[in-house]
Amino acid sequence: MFNIVQPTTAYFGQKDAAQCVLIKRIVEDLNIPVEIKVKDTIRESDGLAMSSRNAYLMPDERKIAPIVHASLIAAKSLYQSEMKVSFEGVQTNILVEEVKKILKSEPRVSEIQYVSIDSKETMQPLEMVGLDGAVISLACKIGNVRLIDNILLP
């Protein structure tokens, strides 16, 4: 598509972090002359990432759905506080457990499908997050609705 249209710039949303990494890699590997810009995830006023799937949430589920973003923010806060005392980085399992703890605190989160912490450049799993940061991604179900979200560290 880039070769046909020949844009100078293409914009993608951070909500699908893996797609953004893949597109950047394709553009680089194939030497396609297009600048890829990744824009922040657009969120509702309560922090829930905008998605057509949100319309499938029942009213009581919609009220608690911001817990998805809140769990990521909690992990980011933990990362920031741990980095103040550790020069080596933060073990990812600590951050994953923080996200899961927040999600499990809400009974209407019916399933946690994954929580992953990956390189921002390659989406390969990390064991430690240092100053280079990472992307924390998750998928969970609230009721029967699958929601995805991610946040960048730092």
> Residue 72's Cα: distance from chain center in Å?
8
Q: What is the pLDDT of residue 50?
A: 93
Domain hosting 8: range is 1-40
pTM to 2 decimal places: 0.86
Q: Is the pLDDT of residue 86 over 80?
A: no
Task: Let me know whether 69 and 143 are in one domain.
Answer: yes
Domain shared by 61 and 107, yes or no? yes
Residues 31 and 53 in one domain: no
Compute the C-alpha angle 48/52/56, nearest 5°: 85
Number of domains in the chain: 2
pLDDT-derived band at 154, boundaries 50, 70, 90: confident
Are the C-beta atoms of 120 and 42 separated by less than 8 Å?
no
Q: Which residues pair with 142 in a beta bridge?
A: 109, 145
Calculate mean pLDDT across residues 11-21. Answer: 85
Same domain (yes/no): 63, 83: yes
